[in-house]
Amino acid sequence: MRRLNGLAGVAVVAVALSSTVSSQSRSAARAVVYENARLIVGDGSAAIEAGALVVQDGRITAVGRKGDVSVPANAAHVDLSGRTVMPAMIDVHVHIGYEGYTRWGADNYTAQNVLDHLQREAFYGVAATQSVGSSPTDPSIQFQRDQEAGKFPPASRFLFMPGMAPPGGGPDAVLLKGTTALHAVYEVSTPEAARAAVQEMAAKNLKSVKIWVDDRRGTYPKMTPEVYAAIIDEAHRHQMKVHAHATTLPDQKAVVRAGVDVLVHTVQGEKLDDEFLALLREKKPYWTTVIGLGDRTEICDHDPFVDQTLPASVVQAIRATTEPRPLAPNCGPRSPNFAAREETLANNVSKMVSNGARLVLGTDAGIHPGYTFGSADHHEIARWVQFGVSPMEAIVAATSRPADLMGLNDMGSLAPGKRADFIVLNANPLDDIRNSRRIANVYLRGAKLDREALVAKWKKGSKT
Ligand SMILES: [Zn+2]
């Protein structure tokens, strides 16, 4: 095995963060009760009308109907009448660190830029964000330690997993340049090398690994079934999960049959067949649609929800591109096969769900220039609902289910003992999923995020 993961990434990421950043703010010891809001717990149970959510020391201590919940006598009261509270979301699939909003690439990959992207996710109500197969291992472990130690300002919790691919394979041409520069992908060509790499990851206490099974229409070396079988077996021996990038029906069948835990992507080029649907019913893989990347679309459609976090120059540059987009009539021509693609996608998404694939939120944000973090999560869940997923199921798939997948036992729902990570909305997303965008406030570990200060920073085009 050519071992690519190593020190090079450390130097890239070891850019000094401002020494003046405040430690992660936590709520004070005094309890706070958020009352009179509709509470969407996140586990699929019916919403609690006129609820009470008690938070102390950054954790939820009680949740239920107001009057049924015992509230500490000295608690502060916050009236949220007319509002809806849902858990903050968890995005299990992004590519963090490369986007610079003026240029894109490995040169941008610093701890400071990782933090900026995590702040963007937090701004839009995402409490944990997982970078998949494109973040260098050792610097990422260090970043996680620093974040848990409170060295950074409030932001989405950083999670990551390494990638594995045959030499010269894996990420598409744009991302490959970046991951190669950062040595973010373990290159393996034999089952033995694959097992050794997984063992190395397990020794670092990593919980997941991504594989690419894709020949990019015959232009790339593709991981062989023997290699991914070895990866899956070795990962499962170490209680690790395997996420598989596969975009065609034959490849999705093969990796599900081989036992991957998470399918990444949705087959878009053909309709799913009965053989695959039977496999889904048998194996019930987790599945991230990553059909969104919709923020550029919405920039073209002049959606202020997306524009608000970007410098005007970036918004203009995105609008000015003429590349055909399937969903963006206001931004270049629509691709000619738009209607057929949409029909296939609608068919495949609903069949995946009804045959037992366990939908979880993943967006691919950051994979190419000009796709912004956080807003893409709202786009993704709205697309699901457009394809027949109920708003309640969409919220489960964006909150408690990804927490279960990633073993984040103290995140993902409004329940006693969980981190107090929640979104206060001005309208009910169960009525219309696009109401997830009507964010009044985001709380992370019980502390209100200063969203205005973040917007001010981003509109200036500044990162600090
Ligand atoms: Zn991806």
Distance from Cα 97 to the centre of ligand 1, integer Å: 13
Ranges under pLDDT 50 in the chain: 1-27, 295, 326-327
Bridge partner list, 109: none
For residue 300, the SS3 value is helix
Distance from Cα 244 to the centre of ligand 1, integer Å: 10
Distance from Cα 279 to the centre of ligand 1, integer Å: 23
- Residue 364's pLDDT is 92
Distance from Cα 6 to the centre of ligand 1, integer Å: 22
- Residue 368's pLDDT is 78
- Residue 2's pLDDT is 39
Distance from Cα 402 to the centre of ligand 1, integer Å: 16
Task: Kindly list the structural domains of the chain, giving each domain's residue range(s) and its CATH number in brackets, ordered by start.
Answer: 7-12+89-406 (3.20.20.140), 32-86+414-460 (2.30.40.10)
Place of tokens 């933090």: 115
- Residue 52's pLDDT is 98
Distance from Cα 267 to the centre of ligand 1, integer Å: 14
Distance from Cα 363 to the centre of ligand 1, integer Å: 8
Structure tokens belonging to residue 178: 């970046």
- Residue 416's pLDDT is 98
Distance from Cα 94 to the centre of ligand 1, integer Å: 6
Distance from Cα 278 to the centre of ligand 1, integer Å: 26
- Residue 333's pLDDT is 63
Type of residue found at 73: A
Distance from Cα 421 to the centre of ligand 1, integer Å: 25
Q: What is the pTM of this model?
A: 0.91
- Residue 330's pLDDT is 56
- Residue 336's pLDDT is 73
Distance from Cα 175 to the centre of ligand 1, integer Å: 9
Q: Cα–Cα distances in Å, from 95 out to 174, 327, 363, 464?
A: 12, 22, 9, 21
Q: Are 352 and 384 in contact (CB under 8 A)?
A: no
| 16: CB partners within 8 A, 6+ apart | none
Distance from Cα 290 to the centre of ligand 1, integer Å: 8
- Residue 349's pLDDT is 95
Distance from Cα 266 to the centre of ligand 1, integer Å: 12
Q: Cα–Cα distances in Å, from 196 out to 81, 161, 186, 200, 229?
A: 56, 16, 11, 6, 14
Secondary-structure breakdown of the chain: helix, strand, coil percentages, each rounded to the nearest 5: 35, 20, 45
